[in-house]
Amino acid sequence: MSELKNDRFLRALLKQPVDTTPVWIMRQAGRYLPEYRATRAKAGSFMDLCENADLACEVTLQPLERYDLDAAILFSDILTIPDAMGLGLYFAEGEGPKFERPLKTLSDIQQLPDPDPENELQYVMNAVRTIRRELNGRVPLIGFSGSPWTLATYMVEGGTTKDFGKVKGMMFENPQAMHLLLDKLASSVTSYLNAQIAAGAQAVMVFDTWGGVLSPEKYKEFSLAYMQKIVSGLTHEADGRRVPVTLFTKGGGQWLEIMAETGCDALGLDWTQDIASARQRVGDKVTLQGNMDPSVLYASADTIKDEVKKVITGFGKGTGHVFNLGHGIHQHIDPDNVTVLVDAVHEYGKQ
């Protein structure tokens, strides 16, 4: 494997000294970029884009051609595992992902297969290998998965939801079924991420998009416990260097201390958290990633620079900060505003 030309992202995740704050952006390959929309149209459908290694590689690299980013993230979807378990994933126009066969009973869950990452999910590994080769050491490649709780949410609800009635209903009424599902998912996510690492991912991230809808007690039992299992089961060394793992629970700022106890290397913060107090709370235990409000990118260049400066100043001196938005970039922002953001991070982040 080629030597990394820019490793400041990995160094920051491991709390090693860096020349400036590294930056990447959640959903950096996406609909706000005209070149992405062109490739997506060429692919035919979103899943066709994910399943074609060359096109997935093309869109992964597009933001790096435009911006001075410090990491690439695999272009894929969090619902690849439930899809590989045979739930019939499809995308309804304007409605997001849906499953033809959502999980309703304990017996549905008992019958779920355990997908082999190099078989049913081989297209993801092919994308990782292709991207890693084409990056040729420019920047590190991040692999990722949804968290077990987040995946379970889609699998039980059958798609996106506002009230989480079915999945929380199962959690309260039939915790045995829910724990079985989460246990199966934790084991699938662990082997999936380990396969991404074997294929060339140099850092991994677990997106717990819906952990924040749980009460503190249920979060520990139904979300964090399973992310802890994943962290414990991951391959932590590859290519002669550590493979850092980041956990991100959207809306989970009140649980940073217990998240930091999992053995992860970094925690993602959404924009509802103050980064200075987050750092005070977790000390030097983990790196912090985040956490500018994505809507700042609708504002003027001066405002974007000011908000970048606030986050970097809020974090304070020393290493252990990866700049990112507090969640994914919005579809309708001006791509030129991302240039302002990335350049401002590198300017203000010089230690």
Catalytic site residues? 27, 31, 40, 77, 154
> Is 179 annotated to bind ligand?
no
Q: 253: Cβ–Cβ under 8 A, 6 or more apart, which residues?
A: 269, 270, 272, 273, 278
CA torsion through residues 135, 139, 140, 143, sign: negative
Indicate the residue type of 172.
F
Q: Are 213 and 251 in contact (CB under 8 A)?
A: yes
- Please state, in angstroms and rounded to a whole number, the distance separating the CA atoms of residues 286 and 256: 10
> Is 30 annotated to bind ligand?
yes
> Is 346 annotated to bind ligand?
no
Q: What are phi and psi of 214, to 5 degrees?
A: -95, 155
> Is 7 annotated to bind ligand?
no
> Is 11 annotated to bind ligand?
no
> Is 228 annotated to bind ligand?
no
- Please state, in angstroms and rounded to a whole number, the distance separating the CA atoms of residues 114 and 111: 10
> Is 154 annotated to bind ligand?
yes
> Is 31 annotated to bind ligand?
yes
- Please name which of 19, 2, 24, 5 lies closest in space to residue 203, comparing C-alpha atoms: 24
- Please state, in angstroms and rounded to a whole number, the distance separating the CA atoms of residues 36 and 338: 15
How would DSSP label each residue in 173-220? H-HHHHHHHHHHHHHHHHHHHHHHHHHT-SEEEEEETTGGGS-HHHII
- Please state, in angstroms and rounded to a whole number, the distance separating the CA atoms of residues 322 and 99: 35
> Is 43 annotated to bind ligand?
no
- Would you give the distance in Å from CA 74 to the centre of its chain? 10
Q: Are 37 and 31 in contact (CB under 8 A)?
A: yes
Q: 140: Cβ–Cβ under 8 A, 6 or more apart, which residues?
A: 4, 7, 9, 10, 70, 71, 72, 202, 203
Q: Which residues are annotated as a binding site for substrate?
A: 27-31, 77, 154, 209, 327
Q: Which residues are annotated as a binding site?
A: 27-31, 77, 154, 209, 327
